[in-house]
Structure 1
């Protein structure tokens, strides 16, 4: 069956889906649009509000499809937009060999898999069938913005912002009193009482719109029980000290350099929308080839799943950021959420970093598949990377983890079920014990390059380049 406008109208679950698809029919939304050489399969990547784009693949006639977005409409607006673009702007589709994720979908499709169908209304419940012309007409007749209404809306936003600033400052007062009370009681049994002691304050911080600090407080109990009892008091002091420092810095943010002020506000709970970041001319931007090192997933106390995609900058320019992380949040109730990229995948694109005293988190503004990428070489041994970490920590004192790009190192046993990373000078750092079994294949290999996350005590190895090939962490 050939693809026509009438075919798309028949596939659409409702008129609202077509109207939503129309908003996506613009070049900026699609860093990738392609068709297989036999024109039987279409795929694309649509940049939504998150850090990573949604991936869409569909048969050329729309008969089967898949999208990584969480929509419960079938087909979703992204699939409809791809089909719409194929009909109206076929020149936008590059003829290419399908990437692996498209091949995987095609293999499942040949094996009998199919996309979920959508319920078809009937009788009087059907109403007016979805229409592309209606969606276009609706867009064309949108009432222009009223300047007076826009001014009132801006004044309302400023009032809400001022109210939130006041609520946050009141919440910081409560946090500082609570920290002082915990220190007065002593930290000997703090790990045992932190759950109940922090619950009420965390709720108040959420009400005060200081969700970032509330999240740190919620995670504190879990963090303490992940370490040995002998380390808990020290870790508690570090975490409480970091929260007190953030609170103090927020009160004096007008004295801080702009990047650090942005860090403070994000640490408290302010967020920066994707559109605002991409429009910020001062935000650091790096165009390079990136190696996807690893995907990490963690369920947070607020019932959101945090999805991290860690990437290595393959550029030889040592003045560029060596790594970047893309972060998305999805509801746990939505079930399993797939990552947009696979470890080992190569991406050529522009990463826009959030302004920071230690830039690390970013958004992928544009991308295309890269063919090859050499693992970047860093200064040999542990000392240069640890010195870089010390500098980042000095610039951003509440930094939790920092990626170390290491070369000319080796993994060595460090006691029962324990590993360390060592260099030729004899310097060594500990590796998370939970990675012992995973990293066994790398034991005995010399002259290894690694990307690992370092928190000042232990390293989590994310990826390795070895004489035998590359290794990637499996979450």
Structure 2
């Protein structure tokens, strides 16, 4: 047994390694380095892997991976995390063919690993520069909060007038006005320090060009935006959990101050979304003992992947803390207590009818919730005249338009082969987005679908 109690020799699959890649280019480049040829001085313990990779220069790149993060360091110039050398080293180690043998960490790897252990016992670096905070001034913080709240209130009132003008003039005016007016309104919401409202305004501006049926979708989103405006303007009269949700939806951040939950968290899925300014990484975890499903969010600047990268299909002995808010599933990863271990199967699931009902209940607490996590058991992907859906004995859930266009759909179809499978994903008003699947023939293997 290793220091953390993880059985030596338990190694990840190549799919789990490649799921850590920040992009397709890194995935391909890492795959090319997952062979013994360019590597020397490799070794591993139950908690770390290291090796030297020959590059274009005379000095090989020294690469070390802390499996309890996972986190890595490499003296190559890449700004991606993990870099292609870390991915290649993990693939070589995952082969379990004796190429990466167990042993003691060399002098050049031990200092970094020791620093990781002494600095937090395997915690994960999530990006950004750590700047020591100075002494807090409660009175100054209160004044800043009041000034920002006043700006958001002014922005919400202005947005209410914009929505009233739109409804009064007719929805057809939105198509005639074009996107520019909405972008101008969104910019004012940014100036009001309400990024959540700004995001909703930009979504409103894009709807008139989204195809047939756009007036209905525009009216629905206008109603939700109006509801959020009115909720903010009546914030002091709302129950505390709903008030926390409203603050989050308009863009006010709050610390993850919920009670810490230590559990064996199974990594169900991980995927990135990006815009011109930011790359967001979403990782879904399921607590094997608590039964809770948690969402970890991490961010990177435009063009850079977030540093938080978890092996899909593995189980983490970790402590999480929840963020405030009604029906809130987002959490913060506080500490990992051991290296990732293999999962033994999918989380408990239910039917399509139960997933729809659970989403409906969640909307009572958070009316602006686009989707919630759900695991479906014994569903079959089928194609109809209106598109793809997941069908079971109780009914069917249509796939969202975006998921129906992803390569993951064909992996799901191949996994099923016409037979029932277990699928984890996000269930919302647009349908179901599959993110991971399990075959009855090998329920221990998680197949990424994102």
TM-score when normalising by structure 2: 0.68
Q: Report the CA distance shift for 1:297/1:393 in structure 2 as closer, same or farther (over 3 A).
A: same
Deviation of 1:300 after TM superposition, in Å, equals 3.0
The answer to whether residue 432 in structure 2 is matched with residue 463 in structure 1 is: no
* 2-structure distance, mates of 1:65, 1:290: 33
Q: Once the two structures are superposed, what CA deviation does each residue of 1:346-388 show, in whole Å capped at 9, x if it has no partner? A: 3222222211211211111122312333312223x21222111
* 2-structure distance, mates of 1:89, 1:473: 29
The answer to whether residue 321 in structure 2 is matched with residue 348 in structure 1 is: no
Q: Report the CA distance shift for 1:463/1:187 in structure 2 as closer, same or farther (over 3 A).
A: same
Q: Once the two structures are superposed, what CA deviation does each residue of 1:144-203 show, in whole Å capped at 9, x if it has no partner? A: x8xxxx68x432222222111111111111010001111112223535645212111111
Structure 1: 5+ residue stretches without partners: 1-31, 47-52, 71-81, 96-141
The structure in which a higher percent of residues are helix is 1
Query: Counterpart of 1:394?
Result: 364
The answer to whether residue 283 in structure 2 is matched with residue 309 in structure 1 is: yes
TM-score when normalising by structure 1: 0.65
- Superposed, 1:23-62 pairs within 5 Å as 34-35=47-48, 43-44=65-66, 55-57=71-73
2:399 to 428, 431, 454: 431
* 2-structure distance, mates of 1:438, 1:87: 41
Query: Counterpart of 1:296?
Result: 271
Query: Counterpart of 1:211?
Result: 195
1:361 to 330, 333, 337: 330
Is this contact kept in 2: 1:35–1:94, CA < 8 A?
Answer: no
* 1-structure distance, mates of 2:399, 2:185: 34
Q: Give SS of 2:345's match.
A: coil
Of the two, which has the highest radius of gyration? Answer: 1
RCO (CA 8 Å, sep 6+): is it higher in 1 or 2?
2
The answer to whether residue 245 in structure 2 is matched with residue 263 in structure 1 is: yes
Deviation of 1:392 after TM superposition, in Å, equals 0.2
* 2-structure distance, mates of 1:171, 1:85: 48
Query: Counterpart of 1:23?
Result: none
Deviation of 1:471 after TM superposition, in Å, equals 5.0
Q: Give SS of 1:229's match.
A: coil
Deviation of 1:452 after TM superposition, in Å, equals 1.8
Q: Report the CA distance shift for 1:85/1:205 in structure 2 as closer, same or farther (over 3 A).
A: same
Q: Give SS of 2:232's match.
A: helix
Query: Counterpart of 1:5?
Result: none
1:229 to 212, 225, 228: 212
* 2-structure distance, mates of 1:307, 1:185: 40
Is this contact kept in 2: 1:289–1:370, CA < 8 A?
Answer: no
* 2-structure distance, mates of 1:385, 1:199: 36
* 2-structure distance, mates of 1:85, 1:439: 40
Count of equivalent residues: 355
* 2-structure distance, mates of 1:90, 1:453: 35
Q: Give SS of 1:392's match.
A: helix
Q: Once the two structures are superposed, what CA deviation does each residue of 1:269-318 show, in whole Å capped at 9, x if it has no partner? A: 1112xxx42xx2xx1543322332322222236x2122212223334x5x
Query: Counterpart of 2:348?
Result: 377
The answer to whether residue 346 in structure 2 is matched with residue 330 in structure 1 is: no
What is the CA RMSD across the aligned residues, in angstroms? Answer: 3.8
Query: Counterpart of 2:105?
Result: none
Q: Report the CA distance shift for 1:43/1:178 in structure 2 as closer, same or farther (over 3 A).
A: same
Is this contact kept in 1: 2:271–2:283, CA < 8 A?
Answer: yes
Query: Counterpart of 2:102?
Result: none
